[in-house]
Homo-oligomer: A and B are copies of this chain.
Amino acid sequence: MIERKLIMLPGPTNIPDRVLNSMIKPIISHRGPEFRKLYQEITENLKYLFQTQSDVFVLSTSGTGGIECAISNIVEPNDKVLVPVFGIFSERLKEKIRRRGGVPIELNLEWGTAPKASEIREILEKESDVKAIAMVYNETSTGVTVRELPKIGEIAKEKGILLIVDAISILGGDKLPVDEWNIDICIGGSQKCIACPPGLAVVSVSQKAWETIEKTKNKPMYFDLTRMREYAERKETPFTPALPIFYALNEALEIIKEEGLEKRFQRHKKCAEAFYAALEKLGLTAFPKDRTVRSNTVIAVNVPAGVDNAKVREIMREKYKVVIAGGIGELKPKIFRIGCMGIISQAEVLMTINALENALMDVGYNVNLGIGTATAREIFKS
């Protein structure tokens, strides 16, 4: 028996029963009429989510598979790709470019900060023949959002280079108008702000991207976007899709459409504000020092000196039934990461803060019990 807990991870996250239950719909042929109808619905819903008129695809992989797909359709040996590195996921992006034989032009930044448009422009003025910028929009490892992404998109457009954006932990939770911001390939994951189970990556591809993709040789077959486009004409996937998660994705996207993007983004923002304010009151400062780059979907905070990160999370999980994450890599013991994603509302924020206050008290940290929830409550009043 697996106990249901409040999942406040930066993905996967809590799933509405409506979405969960949609997975047990009948198995159908992925070459038959029922699947084509499902495919069509998902495509239309995804275009709404990405705010795009371009092509969209669903891959039966985790989000990382979606990034792998983007990189291997664009990068050929010796291609220069500008990649700002400011956390684990941007490091992975760099590594994927390198493994594909590309040359990552790194913009190395302090973790907890975000790249600026001016820094991108500076590099592009020094480096010639840069084929693309590959960038993480929301660094899940540090809780940082690149607020200058629209400006960076303008630079990419002006210079005629491609912009690849890893939006896995933010798509559906914060502003991301793909066409307006000149994003050529944008990648999301099913299990984050979309509030669907894990198992799928979603990808948008601009006309400008296609011009490059069509010329790229030796793409791994499983990630070949031209093959996906060919099958998309008959509303099919090239390879057997992870059908139950397709059902769930469509249901989750319907819920997003019902709520409306703007309202959904505002809800995430409000909950994030409540988290930051409450956590600060408890003495847990945000990991990103610059207030303007703090993420609305991944809340990363410093663990106070003397507090055992793993112990607090274990108590939260086992005693109070709320699951949050620690850091990754070097940050593992240093920060907590809380997912502020999907179905997030005042209720989940209060439950999480309450569980955290109690767990901190259990490990002997000096907590004025209730002060965090009271602070969060104030934010929701305003």
Q: Is the CB of A101 within 8 A of B26?
A: no
Contact flag A32-B243 (CB < 8 Å), given A65-B60, A221-B95: no
List B contacts of A325 (CB < 8 A): 29, 31
Count copies of this chain in the complex.
Answer: 2
With both chains docked as a complex, state the minimum distance between the C-beta of A103 and any C-beta of chain B, in angstroms.
Answer: 13
Are B65 and A222 neighbours in the complex by a CB distance under 8 Å?
yes
A32/B245 in contact, CB under 8 A: no
Cβ-closest chain B residue relative to A95: B221
Give chain B nearest CB distance to A321 CB in angstroms. Answer: 11
The reply to whether A27 and B3 contact each other, CB–CB distance below 8 Å, is no
Q: How far is the CA of A32 from the CA of B239 in the complex (A)?
A: 31
Contact A92:B221 (CB < 8 A) given known A27-B7, A65-B239, A199-B60? yes
B2, B23, B25: the one within 8 Å of A244 (CB): B23
What is the bound-complex CA distance between A99 and B5, given in angstroms?
45
Known: A23-B24, A60-B61, A101-B218. 14 other contacts (CB 8 A): A4-B26, A7-B28, A60-B65, A60-B242, A61-B61, A62-B241, A64-B221, A64-B239, A64-B240, A96-B221, A99-B220, A99-B221, A198-B243, A242-B242
- A26's nearest neighbour on chain B, judged by CB, is B4
Question: A14 an interface residue at 8 Å Cβ cutoff?
Answer: yes
List residues of chain A with CB under 8 Å of any chain B CB.
Answer: 2-5, 7, 9, 11-15, 20-21, 23-32, 34, 60-65, 68, 72, 92, 95-96, 99-101, 189, 191, 197-200, 218-223, 238-245, 248, 317, 323, 325
| Contact indicator A240/B27 (Cβ below 8 Å) | no
B24 & A2 in contact (Cβ 8 Å cutoff): no
Closest B-chain residue to A191, C-beta based?
A: B240
Chain B residues contacting A27 (CB-CB under 8 Å) are 7, 12-15, 197
* Listed A/B pairs (11) with beta-carbon separation below 8 Å: A12-B29, A14-B27, A15-B27, A31-B325, A60-B61, A62-B241, A95-B221, A191-B240, A198-B240, A200-B242, A242-B245
